[in-house]
Structure 1
Amino acid sequence: MGPVFVWMNGGGENHWVTLVLKGRMGVDGTGSNADAVGARVHLNAGGRTQVQEVRAGSSYLSMDSIALEFGIGTAVMVDEIEVRWPSGRIQVIEDVPADQVVAIEEPGS
């Protein structure tokens, strides 16, 4: 038997936000697909802009997460989240506190 190694992540002082998007197809049968695959998000925090797109992919016995995870450094607030839905709708959300999971539902027409 060899040594046992345990990785302990004490966390850090930086902040984050995770976005979980839901298209209108999963709400009332209109708009973008339920998992929001293809939605593009522009997130502004701490003077920086990050862009991510919801993608779906899988492999044998695995699946990629469709949640979007952003590291925002020392910023304690997200200044603006712009979601460009596959349906063409654009949604803007401002002043979102850091360190949380935010569920965003596509707005109706």
Structure 2
Amino acid sequence: MPELFVRQAGGGALVIYHNRFPRAHYLQLSLRGTRSNSLGVGARVECEIGDLVIRRSLFPVVNFLSQSPALLHLGLGDAATVDRLTIHWPSGEVQRFEKLAADRHLRITEGTDQLRTLSARSQLSP
């Protein structure tokens, strides 16, 4: 069964995608600024897993007839835990979190140590 159907604006060919990749671990982040802008646009994130460092910047771009969610997706491969997550907010504040479980969508608010789980793979799986 296809997972996604796509049509181009104004018609065009129908494209079908089927994800055949093996299931891997992930971490999604929604940032909420308090001193920075409310969506955390411009924030830089570093995710450390052993010797591996994954870097992402939050720059959601909206183009004509399209949108991008203001969230960061980190593919973690076989790693079930993030050793350290560092967020560099546009305000200059830096936050660090240690030993985060994978396979969840977290909301992180600038200036607080609280992490709110918005969803987890265990909640989404049948």
**TM score, norm. by length of structure 1:** 0.80
Query: What is the Cα deviation at residue 12 of structure 1?
Result: 2.4
Query: What is the Cα deviation at residue 63 of structure 1?
Result: 1.2
Match of residue 82 from structure 1: 86
Query: What is the Cα deviation at residue 10 of structure 1?
Result: 6.3
Match of residue 104 from structure 1: 108
Pair 1:55 & 2:55 matched = no
> How is 1:1-109 mapped onto 2 (pairs within 5 angstroms)?
8-9=18-19, 12-24=22-34, 31-107=35-111
Which 5+ residue runs of structure 2 have no aligned equivalent?
1-14, 113-126
Query: What is the Cα deviation at residue 35 of structure 1?
Result: 0.6
Q: Using the aligned pairs only, state the percent identity.
A: 32
Q: Distance in 2 between matches of 1:73 and 1:95?
A: 16
Which 5+ residue runs of structure 1 have no aligned equivalent?
25-30
| Superposition misfits of 4+ residues, deviation over 2 angstroms | 5-13
Query: What is the Cα deviation at residue 45 of structure 1?
Result: 1.7
SS at structure 1 position matched to 2:26: strand
Q: Distance in 1 between matches of 2:29 and 2:87?
A: 10
Change (3 A) 1:41 1:100: same
SS at structure 2 position matched to 1:58: coil
Q: Which has the higher contact order (CA 8 A, sep 6+)?
A: 1
Q: Distance in 1 between matches of 2:100 and 2:81?
A: 6
Count of residue correspondences: 98
**TM score, norm. by length of structure 2:** 0.70
Query: What is the Cα deviation at residue 11 of structure 1?
Result: 6.0
Q: Distance in 1 between matches of 2:24 and 2:37?
A: 33
